[in-house]
Every structure is written in C-alpha cells, then in structure tokens.
Amino acid sequence: MGSFSGGCLCGEVRYEGSEAQGGGHCYCEDCRRSSGTSHCSHMIVSESRFSVQGEVRFFDAVADSGNTISRGFCPSCGSPIYSRNSGMPGMVIVRASSLDDPDVFAPGLIVYASRAPAWGQPRDDLPVFAEMPPASDIPNVEA
Ligand SMILES: [Zn+2]
Ligand SMILES: [Zn+2]
C-alpha cells in the first residue's frame, strides 16, 4: 500500500504514513468501549513510517495478553487516532476510523469475535477467531 493520511474530527491532530502492514478488526470489550460501536479497526504501521502533528493523549489498559495497550486520542474532540502495544515495539496501530480515505485500509482478520454484540456482528468473509489466536495462526496479510 502507498501513503495515507488522517486525523481527528476537530482537525488538531493530523498524521501521515506509508506502507501499512495489514491489520484487522478487534471485538474485545476495551475496543468496543473506546470505539463508539462494536469493534475497532486497526491498521498496523511501522513507527518509522508514521508521523503525527498535534497533541495525542494516551490511555493505558492491560489486555488479556498481559501487554499494555496505550490508546491515543485527541484531547479536544476525543477521536481515537492510534494505539501502541507493549508487545509490538516499533509499531503503531492506526485506527482506520481516522483515515482521510478509509478504504486504503485492507483488514485481514477478525479477533475476539466471540465478544461481539448481537447488533454488531463481524463480517464472515475474513478469517475469524473467537479470541486472540497465537501469532503462528495469524495469516500473513498483504496490505
Ligand atoms: Zn480533535
Ligand atoms: Zn481489542
């Protein structure tokens, strides 16, 4: 994939990046609560290929894996922007909802599908995992 850009609702946070390395949809409870709907859509990018302007505030939560997920959002308008995962050093996890062109995101899998609410079920044309699969089971995704 080529380059992409995005930002928050109020425009105080803007970012640019390139060469996303796939990603997917997560239906865990923390993603649901922070998303405004049933799941988050996460696009994985090397932090060396990602730059952000404007203040991003982070909220840290420990995931089932034991990793700390730091969810970044605009302190003015609350829009989720990107996250960091202590188990994925050197990577940022861009919220696809914040992309200027959301269709540059090509999700490759769905995790924690068993936690999806009845009103926000996962699509069934991607590999679906009831929980978080071991890394060896995650399909290699071209983005
Ligand atoms: Zn904002
Ligand atoms: Zn999640």
Name all domains of the chain by residue range, CATH numbers in brackets: 3-118 (2.170.150.70)
Beta-strand (E) ranges in the chain? 3-7, 14-18, 23-26, 40-46, 50-53, 57-62, 68-73, 80-85, 91-95, 109-111
Closest ligand to residue 38's CA: 2
Q: Could you report the average pLDDT of every consecutive run of 10 residues in the chain (143 residues)?
A: 93 97 95 96 97 98 92 98 96 98 95 97 94 76 43
Q: From ligand 1's centre to the CA of 97, what distance in Å?
A: 13
Q: From ligand 2's centre to the CA of 110, what distance in Å?
A: 10
Instruction: Determine the pLDDT at residue 136.
Output: 73
Plot region of 59 (φ>0 → left; ψ -120 to 50 → alpha; else → beta): beta
Q: From ligand 2's centre to the CA of 78, what distance in Å?
A: 18
Tokens linked to 74 = 């605009």
